[in-house]
Structure 1
């Protein structure tokens, strides 16, 4: 468990896919790394908002692993004009709207990491950025492929989405590829979460 929250690390070790959904400033980004760090020894993170070095630093701090154990598919640095080239643990994509390129780079790293015996955590921050450029159906198809690939190896997947940035139909489309949705909120100055997985009633809100 993470603190007193209803999120079980044991569940995360069995190929679970989770979507963290909440308004801005409710801890989605931090929770993503808490979950990945608690359940995984290595990581693959697709980032559409922060550069690779920042994402890698967050994962290493959460998981206590070495930087070379974290691969990042960086979809922002080239878009911002940075002069960057791929290396062993970083792949750069032209922009978040190029999901074909993201998928190719992810598969490249996936094939390498599946050779390890360690548990791998897959992160995606964030679906909302993809939805700025793409139709919900395209983002859904991409997310379905990514979560299916991870599940085939028994890896966990954790993604984030801004719940106040999209209409209800789009949100429900984005929920569908995931086993579990974790809602976040701020209540009386405290960040809270609840868990919904479709097989049982939503948990009570709890601090994290």
Structure 2
């Protein structure tokens, strides 16, 4: 979905995110989950003062920021990245973005939780709305056991809901079985499933009435 710099952020006619809830985008790798997550984060809120916070476990902070700006069509203001990719080890302190926080690795759930909670509190105390994205849970699950991942998600989605913010998390399903998927889905209010067909990616939703209930071409 292309648009010119300076225009309003794109709207997503396919989805309407809940206020005070979190959504899981789950599907095979390479089904545009990160782009969908960023497009949902880029949707403008009524106050035009909303913050965006992204936890990234694969792409470094500069890449996530650039992708967001391309999708949103404007510079990333009130946009923060919590980077767990160890990219900070390759950057001098002068090169690190003031809008980014760094955690040693995706398995450091305590570090991620501390940074994320601080960011949420900052937006809440400033009277701003906020949308939180996390890409991708599968990497976190490679570093720690699923019980800890579930506990982390239960706490974070609870804090997002309590502040009446919105969360959008992604999960690659090819690395887990059905039982594990059912466990990781529990903290979320709704599920957006993705799949790849011969010609394009498709989506459908489960849970809240936030999007198409049958497989529909993905437009992002």
TM-score (ref. length: structure 1): 0.87
**Does residue 22 of the first structure (1) align with residue 22 of the second (2)?**
no
Aligned equivalents of 2:166, 2:62: Cα separation in 1:
22
- Whether the 8 Å CA contact 2:56–2:135 is kept in 1: the answer is yes
**Does residue 46 of the first structure (1) align with residue 51 of the second (2)?**
no
Residues 63 and 156 of structure 1, relative CA distance in 2, 3 Å threshold = farther
Aligned equivalents of 1:39, 1:21: Cα separation in 2:
24
Residues 32 and 123 of structure 1, relative CA distance in 2, 3 Å threshold = same
Aligned length: 201
Q: Where do 5+ consecutive residues of structure 1 fail to align?
A: none
Aligned-pair CA distance for 1:151: 1.3
**Does residue 190 of the first structure (1) align with residue 195 of the second (2)?**
no
Q: Secondary structure at the match of 1:67?
A: coil
Q: Where do 5+ consecutive residues of structure 2 fail to align?
A: 1-10
Q: Deviations over 1:6-65 (max 9, x none)?
A: x22xxx251221100011111111111111112553201111111111112222333455
The equivalent of 2:5 in structure 1 is none
TM-score (ref. length: structure 2): 0.82
**Does residue 75 of the first structure (1) align with residue 87 of the second (2)?**
no
Aligned equivalents of 1:60, 1:120: Cα separation in 2:
17
The equivalent of 2:6 in structure 1 is none
Aligned equivalents of 1:87, 1:104: Cα separation in 2:
19
Q: Deviations over 1:62-102 (max 9, x none)?
A: 345543411111000347x4235576421100111111111
Residues 68 and 180 of structure 1, relative CA distance in 2, 3 Å threshold = same
Q: Secondary structure at the match of 2:153?
A: helix
Question: What are the equivalent positions in structure 2 for 1:1-208 lying under 5 Å apart?
Answer: 2-3=12-13, 5=14, 7-8=15-16, 12-38=17-43, 40=45, 41-64=50-73, 66-78=75-87, 81-85=89-93, 88-197=98-207, 203-208=213-218
Aligned-pair CA distance for 1:188: 2.9
Residues 36 and 68 of structure 1, relative CA distance in 2, 3 Å threshold = closer
- Whether the 8 Å CA contact 1:68–1:89 is kept in 2: the answer is no
Aligned equivalents of 1:84, 1:183: Cα separation in 2:
39
Residues 197 and 13 of structure 1, relative CA distance in 2, 3 Å threshold = closer
Residues 64 and 151 of structure 1, relative CA distance in 2, 3 Å threshold = farther
Residues 94 and 42 of structure 1, relative CA distance in 2, 3 Å threshold = same
Residues 132 and 84 of structure 1, relative CA distance in 2, 3 Å threshold = farther
